[in-house]
């Protein structure tokens, strides 16, 4: 196996440039959480080299000793230009943005602006596990609005959740994951417009986590929440983190709709100052100059989605997989395998493949696993082979 996984890589595809031996030299969470005999396809780190424009921007900053506090508007300006080029959206106003240390910190700060301790926050489960952790830590009450069988927003369920979220007319928020993690669903313009209308009618403030926005499959179109009618009082969190693998160089932007601009004046100064200056430099370079690298990554992810679908159909046909329209993640329904609520534990124990357990994603997650596609095709092939042997 080692020889196969260490074959020469395709220089055009960032996912095929590093061997498993090179990857095992990394000291980050993905490659250090488990023993060396485990293939780690879990946490959303990508097995790629750093995009050259980002690497150059960081090394130049270090050479200058430019490691102080962040300043200026280069980051939101770069994101605004990226939004125009990629999404056809020219409504991202630099003056309606605030730096945040990372997207989840930004989510918590945004929810503090629009709700109080004890108020409700609606989420569409199964959903990114840190939503639950962050909301509990912020003393917010979680109201689940499960996705439909098609893994898209169920608007009847969502409206019911909005009603339950506001007993006695208390403030409430809707934490929208867009694109959705773990399913990879890209919400359509019509769906987002319906969300905005429903939120307006029920007096619910929308906070959109749009961290995966740059990572969209061929044929899909990301629509920024703040671009749809009725979303003027919404808040959005954006970042280059997922598109360019910058979790170790954190930095995010809190973006306000026109009617929510006043909310930003209440963001504590320490929040923005606490953002990594090197992170801001890295994210700015990614949005400004990293488009060619991103296009190569997206092409490689499209190939990996097709590969995974073919491998599962051949070796694990009982596993249901609906290739996502976005993210580098795959949501696998393993309930037909009869492995209980936590098939990830079986695949780890018997197959030495590390995946995310669906149980951590809230209601509807049991019996599912999340697999990270942002790796070499050879590793995905080997992982599926091991998973099939684990249940043979």
First to last CA, the chain: 20
Nearest to 340 by CA among 370, 313, 369, 380: 369
- Quote the pLDDT of residue 310: 98
| 6: pLDDT strictly greater than 60 | no
- Quote the pLDDT of residue 3: 47
Q: Rounded to whole angstroms, what are the CA distances from 307 to 47, 186, 199, 286, 376?
A: 17, 21, 39, 28, 11
Say which residues have a Cβ less than 8 Å from residue 359's Cβ, sequence separation at least 6.
341, 342, 365, 366
- Quote the pLDDT of residue 4: 45
| 123: pLDDT strictly greater than 60 | yes
- Quote the pLDDT of residue 372: 98
User: pLDDT tens digits for 285-332?
Assistant: 999 999 999 999 999 999 999 999 999 999 999 999 999 999 999 999
Contact at 8 Å (CB) between 148 and 386? no
User: pLDDT tens digits for 242-287?
Assistant: 999 999 999 999 999 999 999 999 999 999 999 999 999 999 999 9
Burial class (CB in 10 A: 0-12, 13-18, 19+), 293: buried
Nearest to 145 by CA among 170, 174, 116, 169: 174
User: pLDDT tens digits for 340-364?
Assistant: 999 999 999 999 999 999 999 999 9
User: pLDDT tens digits for 193-236?
Assistant: 999 999 999 999 999 999 999 999 999 999 999 999 999 999 99
Q: Give helix 377-390 / helix 291-315 axis angle, nearest 10°.
A: 30
Distance CA 201, CA 175 (A): 17
Please report which confidence band the pLDDT of residue 1 belongs to, taking 50, 70 and 90 as the band edges: very low
Question: Could you give the angle at the alpha carbon of 325 between the alpha carbons of 236 and 305, nearest 5°?
Answer: 135
Q: Which residue has the tokens 């997989």?
A: 321
| Bridge partners (DSSP) listed for residue 330 | 371
Question: Could you give the angle at the alpha carbon of 308 between the alpha carbons of 302 and 312, nearest 5°?
Answer: 155
Mind giving me the DSSP string for 181-213? Answer: TTT-PPPPHHHHHHHHHHHHHHT-EEEEE-TTT
The average confidence (pLDDT) of the chain is 96
Contact at 8 Å (CB) between 186 and 179? yes
Distance CA 158, CA 144 (A): 9
Tokens (6 digits) for 263:
């909310």
Distance CA 258, CA 235 (A): 10
Please report which confidence band the pLDDT of residue 173 belongs to, taking 50, 70 and 90 as the band edges: very high
- Quote the pLDDT of residue 354: 98
Contact at 8 Å (CB) between 207 and 231? no
User: pLDDT tens digits for 44-92?
Assistant: 999 999 999 999 999 999 999 999 999 999 999 999 999 999 999 999 9
Distance CA 207, CA 107 (A): 7
- What is the mean pLDDT of the segment spanning 165-182? 97
Parallel, antiparallel or unpaired: strands 329-333 and 356-357: unpaired
Please report which confidence band the pLDDT of residue 127 belongs to, taking 50, 70 and 90 as the band edges: very high
| 11: pLDDT strictly greater than 90 | no
Q: Which residue has the tokens 């749009």?
A: 210
| 9: pLDDT strictly greater than 80 | no
Distance CA 351, CA 339 (A): 13
Nearest to 212 by CA among 200, 224, 202: 224
Tokens (6 digits) for 134:
């962050």
- Is 323 strand, coil or helix? coil
Tokens (6 digits) for 150:
């098609």
Q: Give helix 291-315 / helix 74-87 axis angle, nearest 10°.
A: 60
Please confirm whether the linkage preceding 179 is cis (ω < 30° from 0): yes
- Quote the pLDDT of residue 5: 53
| 7: pLDDT strictly greater than 70 | no
- What is the mean pLDDT of the segment spanning 124-143? 98
Residue 142 DSSP label: E
Q: Which domains, from first to last, does the chain contain?
A: 2-51+292-390 (3.90.1150.10), 68-289 (3.40.640.10)
Distance CA 100, CA 275 (A): 6
| 8: pLDDT strictly greater than 50 | no
- What is the mean pLDDT of the segment spanning 184-197? 98
Question: Pseudo-torsion of CA 252, 263, 186, 176, nearest 10°?
Answer: 100
Q: Rounded to whole angstroms, what are the CA distances from 358 to 137, 238, 293?
A: 21, 25, 31
């Amino acid at each position: 196996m080692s020889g196969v996984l260490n074959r020469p890589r395709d220089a055009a595809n960032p996912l095929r440039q590093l061997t498993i031996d090179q990857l095992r030299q990394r000291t980050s969470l993905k490659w250090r959480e488990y023993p060396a005999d485990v293939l780690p396809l879990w946490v959303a780190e990508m097995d790629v080299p750093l995009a050259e424009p980002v690497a150059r921007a960081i090394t130049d900053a270090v050479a200058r000793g430019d490691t102080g506090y962040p300043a200026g508007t280069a980051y939101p300006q770069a994101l605004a230009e990226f939004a125009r080029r990629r999404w056809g959206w020219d409504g991202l106003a630099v003056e309606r943005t605030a730096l945040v240390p990372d997207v989840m910190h930004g989510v918590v700060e945004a929810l503090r602006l629009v709700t109080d301790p004890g108020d409700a926050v609606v989420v569409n489960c199964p959903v990114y596990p840190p939503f639950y952790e962050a909301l509990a830590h912020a003393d917010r009450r979680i109201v689940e609005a499960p996705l439909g069988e098609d893994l898209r927003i169920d608007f009847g369920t969502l409206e019911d959740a909005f009603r339950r979220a506001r007993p006695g007319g208390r403030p409430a928020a809707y934490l929208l994951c867009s694109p959705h993690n773990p399913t990879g669903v890209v919400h359509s313009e019509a769906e987002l417009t319906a969300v905005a209308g429903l939120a307006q009618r029920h007096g619910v403030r929308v906070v959109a986590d749009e961290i995966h926005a740059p990572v969209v499959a061929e044929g899909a179109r990301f629509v920024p929440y703040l671009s749809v009618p009725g979303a003027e009082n919404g808040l959005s969190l954006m970042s280059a983190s997922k598109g360019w693998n910058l979790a170790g160089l954190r930095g995010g932007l809190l973006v306000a709709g026109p009617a929510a601009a006043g909310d930003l004046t209440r963001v504590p100064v320490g929040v923005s100052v606490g953002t990594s200056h090197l992170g801001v430099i890295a994210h700015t370079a990614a949005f400004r100059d990293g488009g060619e690298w991103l296009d190569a990554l997206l092409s490689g992810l499209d190939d990996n989605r097709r590969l995974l679908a073919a491998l599962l159909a051949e070796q694990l046909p009982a596993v249901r997989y609906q290739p996502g329209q976005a993210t580098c993640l795959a949501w696998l329904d393993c309930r037909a395998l009869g492995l209980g609520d936590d098939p990830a534990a079986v695949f780890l124990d018997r197959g030495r493949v590390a995946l995310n357990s669906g149980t951590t994603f809230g209601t509807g997650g049991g019996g599912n696993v999340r697999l990270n596609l942002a790796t070499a095709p050879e590793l995905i092939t080997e992982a599926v082979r091991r998973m099939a042997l684990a249940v043979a």
